[in-house]
Amino acid sequence: MTSIVDTNVILVANGQHSDVDPECVAECALRLQNLMTNGRIALDDAYEILLEYQNKTLPKSGNRPGDAFVKWALQNNRTVSKCDLVPLEVHPERGYVSFPDDPQLKAFDPPDRKFVAVSAAHPDHPPILQAADSKWLAWEPSLKQHGVEVQFLCPDDIRRFRDNKAGK
């Protein structure tokens, strides 16, 4: 199965998000390991996703699970059996032509649009793995209407973050 990995999954697996439960860290590390062993990833062909991964990790010298995944992604981004490179066309307002033109998504974080654009442009619309960014909970229904699935790896943590932001 092909997946798109949001950067926060890598950071959580690395222990770079102090507010998540240990179970969340373990789940993220396990998912990344499973992708490297049995799965596939989808990236943009301009390598914006890979560049973001590298800016927040240590793929050359780090031995954390997220670092290992980024190193693997760098080594396998042109291996057809491990990675799909998806061409993205730039759009002046939405960021990417394949990012849904939907008023409900107008406030969607511009740096995260590349993940959605890759899923929407990929012929199989692979799911986006998400760990700790609670804003995705609000966007998920609209994304789903456009054929973009979000898999929340840490549902308890992400709901807790949302509720804390809302003052609950």
Quick: pLDDT tens for 35-92: 999 999 999 999 999 999 999 999 998 789 999 999 999 999 999 999 999 999 999 9
What confidence score (pLDDT) does residue 18 get? 82
Contact 85, 58 (CB under 8 A): no
Tell me the pLDDT band of 133, cut-offs 50, 70 and 90: very high
The residues spanned by each domain of the chain are: 2-165
Instruction: Tell me the C-alpha distance between 130 and 8, whole Å.
Output: 7
Say what percent of the chain tops pLDDT 70.
99
More confident residue, 64 or 161: 64
Q: Give residue 125's region: left, alpha or beta (phi > 0; psi -120 to 50).
A: left
Mean pLDDT of the chain: 95
End-to-end CA distance of the chain: 37
Share of the chain residues as helix, strand and coil, in percent rounded to the nearest 5: 50, 15, 40
What confidence score (pLDDT) does residue 73 get? 97
Instruction: Tell me the C-alpha distance between 46 and 98, whole Å.
Output: 15
Q: Topology of domain 2-165, per CATH?
A: Rossmann fold (3.40.50)
Residue 61 CB-density burial (10 A; 0-12 exposed, 13-18 middle, 19+ buried): exposed
Q: By C-alpha distance, which of 165, 122, 112, 163 is closest to 146?
A: 122
More confident residue, 127 or 19: 127
More confident residue, 17 or 43: 43
Tell me the pLDDT band of 97, cut-offs 50, 70 and 90: very high
